[in-house]
Chains A and B, each alone.
Chain A
């Protein structure tokens, strides 16, 4: 199913040799070696790394400020082997922070660099469209800079903003077009997303997602919170539609690797089970809302999905005490053991698992086997695998294009490596394939939960360690940098942390998978009809909390 060829590692050049003439230094990050290159060699370096060394996935771009310089880090990895990582570090001057844009090499860099420009004020030369992305276009200053004055009030009047309908609206062929704001309040935007759309009749000519309505400064909040206790509740609020445990794991994995905290096998098993329950709940919501977008409101498919999700929510509530904002993981384990009486909990989960095949069949009956549904979704919103990789798409979106990239499989954490499950891919590349992937992943998650249950049931009573011994204050050694990712409900959910020796991170950067997945929307929607724009948007399964952070 995978479109990958196994890279022949022997033949591929070592990054340092490859960049020999560009290299101005090296660094050692916890997850990867780092190469330091001058700001005017970004395109050259990334092109070489991509084409000759096989680093075809730009996970994210982290921008940060040191006392003497600004710095952008391009986190590279391979789709075929995400454990083979490389950080390309690009320092730039404090006075005139300018870096050559990587957008011509990796399309995904477009948005990541816009974010770096918006929040850190690094300008990118040769960038196709260097505008603010999260903040309003008239915002003054760059909020993540050290000299930014947070107390200064900002007035952002509408009249000072660009007027999208000021210029003459015609297509290249001279057809009259119509500008249409889809959102920020629109039934199909799954949150507060604003899509500036240009229509020629019913056909979509141009799409420009405008994000930032839900920007809550999550990165900055995490930078001022302590590793040990204060950060953990926030991941729940990124992908806030019941994928909480998956998000928490992203932080837990990063921080545990950073501070060398061991997690007991028992806690890892509980985590794995909880995370997969979260995934089922999140996928159910994705299916349901997609049915809303394609079937219309008041449809059975949506309510059936919500009903299934509700059963998972109840299990999660039994496990964690919460329904959405779980705050259940702790560094070194989980907050508490399985609920008492254990047998009852096991029985409830088993009962649910027994019903999963029937529920999945119901969705096949209602959605995937429905001819009208197929008419609407097959061959619409086509996403070629190469395009998807270029845009940094991950998760079901990428797997719907036939690429078997799943962090659980390729860079295992928790108990995933000794459980029996499969990475789900579909070759359809269209909206239909993305929906099918989600339906089938529910089955795989159920398989994983089932195996976790088997182990938990037989776990010897004196070995049920839910948390390892973690100091009251976690303050990793200063000067460390790490990027770690887990497979969230939407794809690769990664976190970059730089330590400064204190008990709070010096830089905390979140890679929300929906951010990259949303960026690909114009590729899916342009040239299609409005209903397919909506269907494509739904098939990307966005959560704006994760896009805007």
Chain B
């Protein structure tokens, strides 16, 4: 099978070229600036999503009007909310276990941000927006994403609050139960691509799947294996802790779970981490199933962001509509349902790939 090599230059190399640096210095400087740019884009999206878009979306789902007073369409609420959150007093519980208490929110945010370092986020003007493309990219991105759980458990335990503890324990139980299905589903895709490198995933999905003459349906894995796509969507909801799987923070049961005792900037960091994780989860889905930045007319990077927002919308939709399952039911669905189904999917895919010889 011939994979079309990307005729583009990756962002760090391009930056190094623009700055006229080469060798190790060029790599380091280019990577740092590139990482800063990507992080800025993601943080900006989070800033839009948290105080504004989320409110607007849930309001639309629930027949309300949200944030409409400050600025056009209430957009300046982003500034107002940032100021409000930052200016709040930081209250640290007396028995908090420091420095674990202080590190936890930072871990949560950075684990999500690091995840973006290996995601191919489409092209922009001939530059591939991907910071690094290691051969083990797929394994790495899941590894980064699951570091967040450590932050949650840390925060839950270090807060010295029983609700936090329950939330932390729930989040670790949930993460273990749902990360394995996620990985197994992802492995079923590796059977097609023959590589863990994420750019290979993008390349594979650019091939036509069904040629309809006028246009061809690309072999996005969402089309090639819709069953795996659905499983992944569901498992991802649990991974990012959104309805019907938002048990770790379930406000009506355990107040706010692991983040009960966090205020001010730490609270902001947790929230930031949560939204970054939704976007990271969306990013992984986009790369694995939706062809990354593939799409007509608009630049690839823009398509990538559009897909991210579409999946964000999906999570908010679930949140507005779905009841929350109980923690034991959640674990049951994970181990007895999704894990079994994902292995079934793996076997089935292996058979199909072997028989029809569609893989690499």
CB-CB under 8 A from B322, the residues of chain A are: 295, 370, 372
Contact (A300, B62) CB under 8 Å given A178-B162, A534-B252: yes
Q: Are B61 and A300 in contact (CB under 8 A)?
A: yes
Count how many pairs of residues, one from A and one from B, have CB atoms less than 8 Å apart in the complex.
87
Q: Are B166 and A202 in contact (CB under 8 A)?
A: yes
Q: How many residues of B contact A (CB 8 A)?
A: 29
**Per-position contact with A for B239-264: 1 when CB-CB < 8 Å, else 0?**
00001101100111111000000000
Q: Are B327 and A531 in contact (CB under 8 A)?
A: yes
Q: Are B329 and A375 in contact (CB under 8 A)?
A: yes
B27 at the interface (CB under 8 A from A): no
CA gap between A302 and B252 in the complex, in Å: 13
Q: Are A304 and B253 in contact (CB under 8 A)?
A: no
B86 at the interface (CB under 8 A from A): no
CB-CB under 8 A from B255, the residues of chain A are: 186-187
CB-CB under 8 A from A304, the residues of chain B are: 62-63
A293 at the interface (CB under 8 A from B): yes
Q: Are B250 and A531 in contact (CB under 8 A)?
A: yes
A286 at the interface (CB under 8 A from B): no
**Per-position contact with A for B41-67: 1 when CB-CB < 8 Å, else 0?**
000000000000000001001111000
CB-CB under 8 A from A302, the residues of chain B are: 62
Q: Are B324 and A297 in contact (CB under 8 A)?
A: no
Q: Are A372 and B244 in contact (CB under 8 A)?
A: yes
Q: Are A188 and B325 in contact (CB under 8 A)?
A: no
Q: Are A295 and B243 in contact (CB under 8 A)?
A: yes
CB-CB under 8 A from B62, the residues of chain A are: 298-300, 302-304
Contact (A375, B325) CB under 8 Å given A180-B162, A297-B251, A300-B61: yes
Q: Are A529 and B328 in contact (CB under 8 A)?
A: yes
CB-CB under 8 A from A186, the residues of chain B are: 255
CB-CB under 8 A from B63, the residues of chain A are: 300, 303-304, 307
B320 at the interface (CB under 8 A from A): yes
Q: Are B329 and A530 in contact (CB under 8 A)?
A: no
CB-CB under 8 A from B166, the residues of chain A are: 202, 530
Q: Are B325 and A299 in contact (CB under 8 A)?
A: no
CA gap between A180 and B165 in the complex, in Å: 11
CA gap between A186 and B327 in the complex, in Å: 19
Q: Are B327 and A529 in contact (CB under 8 A)?
A: yes
Contact (A292, B252) CB under 8 Å given A299-B319, A300-B62, A303-B62: yes
- Which of A294, A299, A367, A529 is the one whose CB lies under 8 Å from B320? A299
CA gap between A304 and B246 in the complex, in Å: 21
For the complex formed, measure the closest distance between the CB of A298 and the CB atoms of chain B, giving whole angstroms: 5
B321 at the interface (CB under 8 A from A): yes
CB-CB under 8 A from B327, the residues of chain A are: 202, 529-531
For the complex formed, measure the closest distance between the CB of A538 and the CB atoms of chain B, giving whole angstroms: 8
A532 at the interface (CB under 8 A from B): yes
CA gap between A54 and B239 in the complex, in Å: 57
**Per-position contact with B for A376-393: 1 when CB-CB < 8 Å, else 0?**
100000000000000000
CB-CB under 8 A from A295, the residues of chain B are: 243, 322-324
With A187-B252, A376-B329 known, 18 other A-B pairs at CB within 8 A are: A178-B162, A180-B162, A202-B328, A294-B324, A295-B243, A296-B243, A296-B319, A296-B324, A299-B321, A300-B321, A372-B322, A372-B323, A376-B326, A529-B328, A530-B166, A531-B247, A531-B250, A531-B327
Closest 4 CB pairs of A and B: A303-B62, A188-B252, A295-B323, A373-B323
Interface residues of A (CB under 8 A from B): 178, 180, 186-188, 202, 291-300, 302-304, 307, 366-367, 370, 372-373, 375-376, 529-532, 534
Can you list 24 A-B contacts with CB-CB less than 8 angstroms, sorted by A residue number?
A178-B162, A187-B251, A202-B166, A296-B246, A296-B252, A297-B251, A297-B252, A298-B58, A298-B62, A298-B320, A299-B243, A300-B61, A300-B62, A366-B321, A370-B322, A370-B323, A372-B244, A375-B329, A376-B323, A376-B326, A376-B329, A531-B253, A531-B326, A532-B326
